[in-house]
């Protein structure tokens, strides 16, 4: 397999909208589940329901891939798996480095979904010298001082940051300077990167706060829907 640095997926050069790109992994996950059950074809309605989108949006998204399905038959599951995997760049090997091997970093290192989706964890890095040499998910933790060498030797183009917020920008600067052009950021901070570097942010606390907002709103709706009971008169003191 070619390494991640050899060439980049054709998604943007083909003019596929970012919103469509964001939905492609959802389609791929649903299609992979169908493939594992040996389902040969799927209708746009069935696939849209499995991916959590509406069928009109799905058909529009697939039109960007040049895949229109067959009337009365639907989409060929195996071909769509290949086609979407190719567009996402998952038909090649993408070496990944994870920086920050605390609880979250260690959990990410142990996540089995990376390898099955074309991502190979090339190295685990941490600034804590006490962690150096410790095995996590079968890989020895290496000191952050080795970052530049590892990026060059393994041709890493994707970095995962799981450090505390205060260290994230410095780590980002070093990754970018070493040649990393895509970053997945789990640190609770906004990163500054130059043009040509893509950053995807995952902030679990923000997601929980959004859920808390919805829970509060639902609770308020329930309170407003309760039938009026007898309201005691307020007597003057």
Task: Show binding-site residues for NAD(+).
Answer: 100-105
SS3 59: helix
Q: Which residue ranges make up the annotated binding site?
A: 100-105
State the DSSP string of 187-207: SSSPPP--TT-EEEE--HHHH
How far is it, in rounded angstroms, from Cα 237 to Cα 135? 72
How far is it, in rounded angstroms, from Cα 211 to Cα 228? 29
Q: Among candidates 67, 69, 120, which has minimal Cα distance to 90?
A: 120
How far is it, in rounded angstroms, from Cα 96 to Cα 125? 11
State the DSSP string of 82-147: HHHHHHTTTTS-EEEEEE--SHHHHHHHT-THHHHTTEEEEEEEES-GGGTT-EETTEEEEEGGGH
What is the CB neighbour count within 10 angstroms for residue 163?
Answer: 26
Quick one: CA dihedral 98, 153, 130, 139, positive or negative? positive
């Amino acid at each position: 397999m070619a390494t991640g640095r050899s060439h980049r997926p054709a998604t943007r050069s083909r003019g596929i909208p970012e919103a469509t790109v964001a939905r492609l992994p959802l389609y791929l996950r649903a299609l992979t589940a169908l493939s594992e059950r040996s389902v040969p074809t799927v209708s746009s309605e069935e696939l849209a329901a499995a991916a959590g989108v509406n069928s009109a949006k799905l058909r529009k998204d697939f039109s960007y891939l040049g895949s229109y399905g067959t009337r009365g038959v639907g989409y060929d599951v195996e071909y769509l798996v290949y086609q979407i995997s190719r567009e996402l760049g998952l038909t090649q090997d993408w070496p990944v480095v994870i920086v920050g091997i605390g609880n979250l970093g260690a959990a990410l290192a142990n996540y089995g979904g990376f390898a099955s989706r074309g991502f190979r964890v090339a190295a685990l890095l941490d600034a804590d010298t006490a962690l150096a040499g410790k095995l996590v998910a079968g890989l020895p933790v290496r000191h952050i001082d080795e970052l530049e060498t590892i990026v060059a030797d393994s041709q890493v183009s994707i970095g995962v940051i799981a450090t505390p917020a205060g260290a994230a920008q410095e780590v980002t600067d070093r990754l970018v300077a070493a040649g990393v052009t895509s970053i997945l950021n789990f640190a609770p901070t906004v990163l500054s990167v130059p043009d040509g570097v893509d950053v995807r942010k995952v902030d679990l606390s923000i997601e929980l706060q959004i859920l808390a907002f919805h829970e509060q709103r639902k609770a308020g709706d329930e309170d407003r829907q309760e039938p009026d009971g007898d309201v005691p008169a307020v007597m003057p003191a």
